[in-house]
Structure 1
Amino acid sequence: MPRPYTRQRGEEEIDVEDVARDPRPGMYAPNQLSWASDDRHIASLLAEPGAIAPQLIAWALDADGRMAPARPSVQPDFSFAGPESPAFETRMRRERPRSWTDGIKCYSWGQAPGSNTIIFQANGSVYIQDGVGAEPELIVDAQTHHAGLAGGPILEPKLSPNEQLLAFVRGAEVHVLSLAARRGGAAAGSGSGAAGAAGAREGEAHGGSGMTAVMGAHRADAMPISPPLSHERSADAMRDSPSPFLLGVLPHGEPPWRVGVVPIQRSIGASPGAAMHGHIEFRAAEELERYDGYWWSTDSMWIAFQETDESSVPPFVIPRPCGELDDDKLAESIRYPFAGGNNAIVRVGVLAARGGADAPLWLDLGIEWERRPTPAAALSGDAAPLTDDAPGADTAPRADSAAGGARGSRKARSMEPTIPYAQPRKRPVQFTTQRDERSADRPAKKASHPPQPALGNYGSTGYARFHDGYLLSVDWGCRGELYVQVEDRTQRVLRLLRFAAPGAGGAWHVPQMSMPPLVGTVVIEERSTSWVDLQTCMRELSDGGVLWVSARSGFRHLYRYSAVGACEGALTAGEWVVDTIAAVDERANLVFLTASLGDVSQRNLFSAPLRARHGQPRACSPSELPDDALMGGPLPSPLPASVATSAPPSLEEPTRLTREAGWHEVEISHDKTRFVDVFTAVGKPYCVTVRRLSDGELLAVLYQTQDPRASRLPLPDPELDTVRSAQGDVLNAVIYYPPARFARPWPLLVSCYGGPGKQITANSWALNAAMREQYYAQEGYLVMRLDNRGSARRGMAFAQALRGQLGNAEVCDQVAGVKRLIERGLADANRVGVVGWSYGGYLALLCLAQAPDVFHAACCGAPLTFWTGYSTHYTERYLGLPDTNAQGYRSSSALSHVPKIRTSASLMLVHGLLDENVHFRHTAVLIKRLTQCRKTHELLVFPREGHILSEHEQRIYMEERMAEFFHVAIGAGRAAGRASASGSPAVGDKDPGRGGGGEAVGLSGRRTRKGR
């Protein structure tokens, strides 16, 4: 491909290095903001401009909520002093929340009343700090291993609510460490007075003998410490803002260490490739956004934990062409649940926090875990499911199905009898027998799925057991109850289960080892003919009731339920959605929530009365669900009127508490008097303030963006616009205009994502800092972002346009946006390109194939090309199961549409070989199909990168190649070619009177300064 013309760029222009740099200009902002229990301190992770590793900082407030006198501190931080090559498991955990920085990654405040103790993890080791003025103490060293205890990275360190114990996961087991020794100010068992004796007694009570062991003896290579930060750098970063404390910093040149008792392994029975304790499975982090694998009870007596058994999920091998990483490993193996195949078997157990390793009390989640063969199409990459004799059908082992079979037998595993329902069991003991009388009379439904053995009811409640399902969340109640959310495999039924608290003696009095699982009560059941929204907003009330968010009315709204599961009515209503429950103040009879009320591109804080003022909205009756609503067959759209029930009339509209138009993320203090407001909007970089909750009065400014790039680089405000789709829906769009010197109509580049549940047009500074969009606009392109049907915060009817078939409505809506810009005379109809990553890469490919008259070039990054090769939860949520919606899977596959791509179209594929989410084989089978159909394409492969490119130089190269691609396909290169053929001037030469024509469009390369 010919190299484009490269012009000189000034210091105040965007180049590909700016596009590739992360974080983007002005996106340095405090994250993980939280209040200490004393409500006098606020902590956050914050990276200074130019730095990658964040620092842990805290602000101190006076009693009235205003800023206390500043006491700046400049000391060494915990940045890792060199290139990091973390273990594969650690890299995978970072990939899920898209976090690749080193140094301090997470922290939490202690929960004891009035406490400002803080715990954090840096470079794998765990530290604790008694207040913002204290020095951090190393309590678990990642480099230290103890005989008889599991090794590996330290995961999820958490203080108990009373701050006496520390739990963490290591080697797939839950461990607990007593902190009594350090609380006494001396090493456990050191014999130094009462503190030493108390420490020894605590060690014995904790399951040990009172003997001591070095937990973090200093090693020269155990904790590299970065050079001290300069005072000038710190002052610049916090100019015009209150000076915070720097937490997690050490006296220069004095690495920490601490002596304490050896941690106790509390869970038992983990096995490599099988049962893991305290571990979350792939789908929990990637699709459910749940990153916790265990949970402390509020009284610090118990730990609930997740057991994950992935042995029935076939291993998927990712080759590593660059084997210099991880001791020359040539491949990585992950357990990836493909659509239609097995999920990991998950159950929840409860352990006493103190004592030695012991068998847990298991909870009966009401799920019969299914074992099924992984569809051959998921393994081979074909667009439609294959037969068993098709190529690739036996490329991975299969586990037993529910009907039996010898292949993949697990009889040799000693833990097999403890898997719930793997073998016939006696009827579980009933701890609660609350019965929904309406459920008991529900008529039996016809099954659209192949016949299965009768599953029976969940205890005596009248609710049928789920045939396969998911664990969504686990929460402890204030009285010791456990609340667990589960949903069925089809994701059309979601239940909130409540498990009884321990008895008066503080324990569940059930014989160990032979105990039956504990059965819960179904408090709430949500049903839908499409899918049930994931519920992350549940809040327990003091009377045992709960606040619950449901989309049963067609929009996510807030409902109040009694302790016995009766809906007392809706608290909010209307054609807008509740995003989060920020806090509940029962004394003031108020609930605080963030929502889209007023403008879907904004998020604001509101308050609403906590007591429902109207009757219960009618719930969807099971008899109104279609017979094929169970296993993913085609369903009617839109929802039947009987299902999309109306909300109670004349509910009082919530009171808005945030004042500025834009996007607000809030954290409310424990005493419900103040809130931290992280505010941003188009043209307004991040600003973090403390405000009074009652009236929004400003109390303190904690942080204002000081990134010099945000002011140096041209980042003009894009235009927030709307487009009417062919179906009449109003679609939100963002338009980036080129400088006036470029004549129109301009070449158009569509930057898309398009996947369900996302929003890329929110009113925030992130639109200004969208560097790829700003770069192409600077180079003479008109750039559009558009939220098509299926995007977030628009209600269920808008989302359900994708139901049963992906890729159709999305393309139609993107086409509507393009045509509108052409009609306005802004875009050149002959030069339209599209770029996207992941789902956006899939959509870009479909735009080129399904709308060849509209799109002429596409750059597809990590494209998802066939849905049988993607994960269960995400895919089946929208398409159902492959064996019940084969046509939907086939028509949704990009491979089916490759023949429609025109030979004149330009196509570029970009992918990382180590992609653990959208595997590289998606691109590999696409290349095979393109070759079969004689479709020209370009390929850019990154051997050492995963789903998102993490190395800066790799990103620079990618952006250079993409810029060259679009320059030739739709930019100045294309215009010059057309001009030569027709004798007409190129776009840059049109209308010289409009601002210096002749400048090339779509120019790539790094910044060229004078003299270079």
Structure 2
Amino acid sequence: MNNHANSSNCDPVGGRKRSGDDSEGGEQTNAWKRQAQSVVGGHDNHHHLEQPTSQVHQPFGSTNKGGSLGTGFPSDRARALASIQVQEVVRYPLPGCEQPTDFSFSPGGSVLCTLYSRGGTLQKALHVCKIRADGPADAGDLPLADFEVMAEPPRGSGVDEQHLSLEEKLRRERLRERGLGITRYFWSKAAAPSSPAPEGSIASPFVMVPLPDGVYLKPVTLRGRAASGGTWDSLSELQRVIPATTERPVLEPTISPDGRKISYVCNGDLYCYFVAEGQTRQLTQDAEKGLVNGLAEYVAQEEMDRRTGHWWSPCSTKLAFAQYDVRHIPSYRIRHHLGAAGGAGAEEEHEYPFVGKENARVRVGVVPVESPEGRVWTDISAGGRDGGGTWEEYVPRVGWFPDGRLYAQLQDRRQQTLQLVQFDAETGKRKTLVEEKTSVWHNLNNCFRPLSKYVAGDGTSLRGGFLWASERDGYRHLYLYTRDGTCLGQVTSGDWMVDSLDGIDESQGLLYFSGTVDSEIERHLYCASLSNCEGDGRKVRRVTKEPGMHHVILDPSFRHFVDIHDSPSQPPQITFCSLSDGEPVCMIHKGVVPTADDRLQRLGATPPELVTVKSQDGATLHGAIYRPDPEVYGPGPYKTLVSVYGGPHVQTVSRSWILTVDMRAQLFRAKGYLVFKLDNRGSSRRGLRFEGAVQHRMGGVEIEDQVCGVRWLEERKLADPDRVGIYGWSYGGYMSAMALAKAPEVFKAAVAGAPVTAWDGYDTHYTERYMGLLEENKHEYESSSSVIFNAPRIRGRLFLIHGMIDENVHLRHTVRLIKALNTASIEYDLLLFPSERHMPRALPDRIYMEKRIAAFFEKNL
């Protein structure tokens, strides 16, 4: 579950908002998530106000102290502000966010590639970023990188979402993908085959580009290194080698390590395409409705961040694959009310695993690509039980050690036991390497990393060992293990979190990670020694320099890295830096708002003020205030809107540009509202104790903390206690509706978008992680944590919004709440979108939604 409406992802694709970003780092990553920069000021010992380094009340683009609109007199600015339309909220990309994304280095680091959408559109193409050590410079005297187009989508391919297969539409939903054109690309990692390739075939190295109508390849010749102006050549355009149609979509194409094969899934079966020969072999043949090979089941994609369901062995001769079986799960039908009355397209069926019901049955097999009949099943047998707490319910991770051992991570139904197990690929027999138990829950991550050649200082070889991330001490940290599962010690430690493991330089015994060492609302790159097995936090070295949020991509030689940095006063800026000292070498993308995009200037936008508030139990809560212009609206108190998510696994307040370009918040601020955000207990990047405050009782401490935040504003004469509203989406929609029931004396109006209204109607993996098993916590499921149960207590005005084909939080949630409100004779407003899923996408729908939200608060506050 995620906060999607008015997506706050500064990447123009509006990607998935997850905290922590524990992606695998290395050569290719979805290049960044943003958070921001401020300098601490002071109030008292309990609360402090942090002011961004820019002049907080100086609007972007202004040339006079009074503001950037009209003549500078309040009456002129007020008239200008009043003319601003809600269309300003919905246009993508957001101001300052038209930057390259998805950086990756080619094999060996010859060139640096990126996806780039120029001209303020969502249409992306693949570019080579030419790093320069000299030449034209920016204002800071850094050389400027050049961009060359490497590949563009063939005419008509991937230009809109109208003609995608259902499978592709749902994949984009799981990723919260808004981009068009080329949205993914992958490098082959091997040189050309030793024998000549047949005429018309593709030789590696090549770039693979999946598009809706098939898989395309582009062979390239690479020379030099990216840091010194590496070059590339290609004699051909993109060539389609695996065709796809809406009836036969090609899903999850994956290049083998030797670059000679591409695996993919079509209609539930696994296939292998041999690149040099141009031939395809079917590897499985038992797919049927509800039985699928090689893909991840719904909860693995939505809740476990496992996107794929098959994995190449290091030698490229075998494929491990997951087979999931949902034939025993009753279909949940979603009607397309604007489609035909019957037949194809009238409805879609989903085997949705509801709380307390059976999960998908998952097993893992290994198939030799040259002799598929030799398939071997491992002894994993996960899922298919009804929440009885039995062992081995989920398979969140699968992969291979470099020496050919297969591994998997396994979770129990309660998600309080997590195992790392290895398998013999020939027999399927297992051995347990690590077992972790907790009384809270295990947050899955992607920080596990096998070692292939590391030798410790005492000469001990750790080939076959691995790094493992755990929250056993309350914060996510890294631990070093031998091949047989013996823990040698804790490599990082302290009251801070490791967000991601970005790279391991085994030859030097160094690891690079991103985390919260210096601030829980910042993100930086750090370096530590693998030999630091006593976990001495003092031996961690910070690499990135500027305050704010940094997302990095390391080059394969561990000499340089790409740094994507932003803060409340700094749009995303991308530099090519030295890994040894963090110093910038070349400017890839200057972080500026294009002069043609005057939205921030017209809104008189300023970075929000960052504050801290104490919860009732003394926990520090981070907040952000969007304060109206006092020269137009006076010193306060103001009518106030709380923008809320509030759920676990998400952080909304950080030192980031994305706070500044929350266009809905800025629009409300420009119209005289004070907008407030607060990360309550239960939110992420603060450690397991802070996040675990919501365990077994959602909708409790989260509401308490939001009330605390409003009271804090009232004490400072910022919020008018009679004119406070709240809005949110998904979990934020749940919070908004619950606020009217549990704190009606505080909140007078609420907008609840796609809300979960009863947790027995959501999926197993997410809900049971936090609420526990239904049969063990049924009272809480059906009472305090349920909006349905609390509906008779709702006071004030409630505005419900939902997409009618939402396959994540079903429309049924809002319908059940409507029934309860009708029974209790409670009035409400309702807006339904017949063709929208969990995240409204169509521009007319988003414009209309923002108009309705603005009118609702104008009327009711």
| Fold match (TM-score > 0.5) | yes
Matches within 5 A, 1:831-842: 831-842=723-734
Aligned residue identity for 1:265: Q
2:163 aligned residue: 85
Tell me, yes or no, if structure 1 residue 590 matches structure 2 residue 606. Answer: no
Distance 2:80 2:364 in 1: 59
Decide whether the 8 Å contact of 2:398 with 2:407 is kept in 1.
yes
Aligned residue identity for 1:730: T
Match for 1:478 among 363, 386, 402?
Answer: 402
TM-score by length of 2: 0.82
Aligned residue identity for 2:646: G
After superposition, what is the alpha-carbon deviation per residue over 1:457-486, rounded to whole angstroms, capped at 9, x for unaligned?
xxxxxxxxx535100111111111112111
Aligned residue identity for 2:206: T
Distance 1:884 1:23 in 2: 46
1:631 aligned residue: none
> Percent identical across equivalent pairs?
37
CA 1:945–1:69 in 2, change beyond 3 Å: closer, same or farther?
closer
1:875 aligned residue: 767
Tell me, yes or no, if structure 1 residue 264 matches structure 2 residue 281. Answer: yes
Distance 2:302 2:150 in 1: 37
After superposition, what is the alpha-carbon deviation per residue over 1:602-635, rounded to whole angstroms, capped at 9, x for unaligned?
1000001101343xxxxxxxxxxxxxxxxxxxxx
Tell me, yes or no, if structure 1 residue 733 matches structure 2 residue 623. Answer: yes
CA 1:843–1:49 in 2, change beyond 3 Å: closer, same or farther?
farther
Distance 2:561 2:839 in 1: 34
The Cα shift of 1:64 comes to 11
Secondary structure of the corresponding residue to residue 623 of structure 2: strand
The Cα shift of 1:325 comes to 11
Distance 2:245 2:414 in 1: 45
After superposition, what is the alpha-carbon deviation per residue over 1:94-121, rounded to whole angstroms, capped at 9, x for unaligned?
1111114332121111112697521111
Aligned residue identity for 1:129: K
The Cα shift of 1:85 comes to 2.7
Distance 1:30 1:484 in 2: 34
Tell me, yes or no, if structure 1 residue 659 matches structure 2 residue 545. Answer: yes
Aligned residue identity for 2:578: R
Q: Which has the higher contact order (CA 8 A, sep 6+)?
A: 2
The Cα shift of 1:686 comes to 0.9
2:339 aligned residue: 323
The Cα shift of 1:535 comes to 3.1
Tell me, yes or no, if structure 1 residue 916 matches structure 2 residue 807. Answer: yes
Aligned residue identity for 2:211: A
Decide whether the 8 Å contact of 1:41 with 1:60 is kept in 2.
yes
The Cα shift of 1:565 comes to 1.0
Match for 2:482 among 558, 562, 581?
Answer: 562
2:118 aligned residue: 48
Aligned residue identity for 2:102: Q
The Cα shift of 1:67 comes to 7.8
Greater shift in the superposed pair: 317-326 or 20-29: 317-326
Secondary structure of the corresponding residue to residue 597 of structure 2: helix
Tell me, yes or no, if structure 1 residue 575 matches structure 2 residue 575. Answer: no
Distance 1:518 1:612 in 2: 35
CA RMSD between the two structures: 2.5
Distance 2:159 2:451 in 1: 47
1:548 aligned residue: 468
1:17 aligned residue: 87
Distance 1:942 1:966 in 2: 20
Tell me, yes or no, if structure 1 residue 696 matches structure 2 residue 582. Answer: yes
Decide whether the 8 Å contact of 1:748 with 1:782 is kept in 2.
yes
Aligned residue identity for 2:330: P
Aligned residue identity for 1:896: F
Distance 1:767 1:174 in 2: 43
Distance 2:601 2:798 in 1: 34
Quick check: which has more Rg, 1 or 2? 1
CA 1:14–1:34 in 2, change beyond 3 Å: closer, same or farther?
farther
Distance 2:756 2:92 in 1: 25
CA 1:360–1:854 in 2, change beyond 3 Å: closer, same or farther?
same
Decide whether the 8 Å contact of 1:319 with 1:331 is kept in 2.
yes
Match for 1:523 among 433, 447, 469?
Answer: 433
Decide whether the 8 Å contact of 1:752 with 1:844 is kept in 2.
yes
Matches within 5 A, 1:499-518: 499-500=423-424, 508=426, 518=428
Distance 1:853 1:896 in 2: 19
Tell me, yes or no, if structure 1 residue 133 matches structure 2 residue 53. Answer: no
Tell me, yes or no, if structure 1 residue 677 matches structure 2 residue 563. Answer: yes
Aligned residue identity for 1:668: L
Distance 1:92 1:71 in 2: 32
TM-score by length of 1: 0.70
CA 1:52–1:73 in 2, change beyond 3 Å: closer, same or farther?
closer
CA 1:279–1:72 in 2, change beyond 3 Å: closer, same or farther?
closer
Greater shift in the superposed pair: 562-571 or 947-956: 562-571
Decide whether the 8 Å contact of 2:562 with 2:576 is kept in 1.
yes
Secondary structure of the corresponding residue to residue 180 of structure 1: coil
Matches within 5 A, 1:854-865: 854-865=746-757
Aligned residue identity for 1:19: V
1:762 aligned residue: 654
1:514 aligned residue: none
After superposition, what is the alpha-carbon deviation per residue over 1:509-553, rounded to whole angstroms, capped at 9, x for unaligned?
xxxxxxxx6111111111001111213100111321111111000
Decide whether the 8 Å contact of 1:859 with 1:909 is kept in 2.
yes
Greater shift in the superposed pair: 905-914 or 698-707: 698-707
Distance 1:595 1:833 in 2: 34
After superposition, what is the alpha-carbon deviation per residue over 1:473-503, rounded to whole angstroms, capped at 9, x for unaligned?
11111111112111111100000011235xx
Secondary structure of the corresponding residue to residue 735 of structure 1: strand
The Cα shift of 1:732 comes to 0.4
Aligned residue identity for 2:506: E
2:43 aligned residue: none
Decide whether the 8 Å contact of 1:39 with 1:669 is kept in 2.
yes
1:174 aligned residue: 270
After superposition, what is the alpha-carbon deviation per residue over 1:699-735, rounded to whole angstroms, capped at 9, x for unaligned?
2111234544266443311111111111111000011
The Cα shift of 1:653 comes to 3.8
Runs (5+) with no aligned partner, structure 1: 1-6, 146-150, 182-259, 375-448, 451-465, 502-507, 509-516, 615-647, 971-1012
Aligned residue identity for 2:487: C
2:250 aligned residue: 154
The Cα shift of 1:82 comes to 6.0
2:448 aligned residue: 538
Decide whether the 8 Å contact of 2:363 with 2:382 is kept in 1.
no
Decide whether the 8 Å contact of 2:499 with 2:516 is kept in 1.
yes
Distance 2:590 2:144 in 1: 18
Distance 2:120 2:147 in 1: 24
Secondary structure of the corresponding residue to residue 507 of structure 2: coil
Distance 1:826 1:689 in 2: 39
Decide whether the 8 Å contact of 2:509 with 2:529 is kept in 1.
yes
Decide whether the 8 Å contact of 2:334 with 2:805 is kept in 1.
yes
1:38 aligned residue: 108
The Cα shift of 1:137 comes to 3.5
Distance 1:334 1:820 in 2: 45
Secondary structure of the corresponding residue to residue 918 of structure 1: coil
CA 1:70–1:799 in 2, change beyond 3 Å: closer, same or farther?
closer
After superposition, what is the alpha-carbon deviation per residue over 1:220-272, rounded to whole angstroms, capped at 9, x for unaligned?
xxxxxxxxxxxxxxxxxxxxxxxxxxxxxxxxxxxxxxxx33x1111221111
The Cα shift of 1:329 comes to 2.5
Q: Higher strand proportion, which one? A: 2
Distance 1:144 1:823 in 2: 61
The Cα shift of 1:577 comes to 0.4
Distance 2:772 2:504 in 1: 37
Distance 2:445 2:451 in 1: 17
Aligned residue identity for 1:669: D
Aligned residue identity for 2:361: I
Match for 2:292 among 257, 262, 276?
Answer: 276
Decide whether the 8 Å contact of 1:545 with 1:561 is kept in 2.
yes
Decide whether the 8 Å contact of 1:832 with 1:854 is kept in 2.
yes
After superposition, what is the alpha-carbon deviation per residue over 1:413-463, rounded to whole angstroms, capped at 9, x for unaligned?
xxxxxxxxxxxxxxxxxxxxxxxxxxxxxxxxxxxx69xxxxxxxxxxxxx
Distance 1:60 1:284 in 2: 38
1:358 aligned residue: 373
Matches within 5 A, 1:809-824: 809-824=701-716
1:102 aligned residue: 180
1:942 aligned residue: 833
Decide whether the 8 Å contact of 1:27 with 1:766 is kept in 2.
no
Aligned residue identity for 1:271: E
Distance 2:707 2:119 in 1: 39
Decide whether the 8 Å contact of 1:306 with 1:348 is kept in 2.
yes
